[in-house]
Amino acid sequence: MLFLKIENCFFFFNTYSFINSHINQILILILVTQVSFADPNLQQILAFAGGHAILPCSLKTPANDDVPTVEWSKEGLKPNVVFLYRNGFETFEMKNPAFEFRSSLFMREVKNGNVSLRISNLKPSDTGIYRCLIIQRNGTREATEVRCSV
């Protein structure tokens, strides 16, 4: 058996198969020894550049016709607002220009309590921690954080 180590991955090859690659298949077993994130309690979303990601967030109690304010922001971004929903509409004046035409809610789902954020045309710079802040009319606040890796 042939053994090869590259960084934190181990490769095992059946020597006979390795030598006779046109006759037999090469058996490769890759063991990744270490994968870690800063906070294991954060929900992790993995997406690809050029694609889209859906960052989940929902109201704890189902919304009625009086949907609260929903603010999606990204840690370390200035201005940090990625999407802002107020009084039944998207509000643009506080939105970071890097997310213009790329972030949205599923408007038909808002009344059902689904305020998940869709980010389109993902870029590597979109990697980070996003926060969904829901502000009820009575002033109560609910916050959820999600890590997106592009």
At 65, the pLDDT band (50, 70, 90 cuts) reads: low
CATH match of 43-149 with 1.20.120.450: no
Domain boundaries, the chain: 2-32, 43-149
Considering the entire predicted model, what is its pTM? 0.71
pLDDT in the model for residue 101: 92
Predicted confidence at residue 27, as pLDDT, reads 24
Q: How high is the pLDDT of residue 70?
A: 92
Q: How many CA atoms lie within 13 A of 62 on its CB side?
A: 4
Would residue 88 be called left, alpha or beta, if left means φ above 0 and alpha means ψ between -120 and 50 degrees? left
Percent above pLDDT 90 for the chain: 48
Contacts of 99 (CB under 8 A, 6+ apart): 82, 83, 119
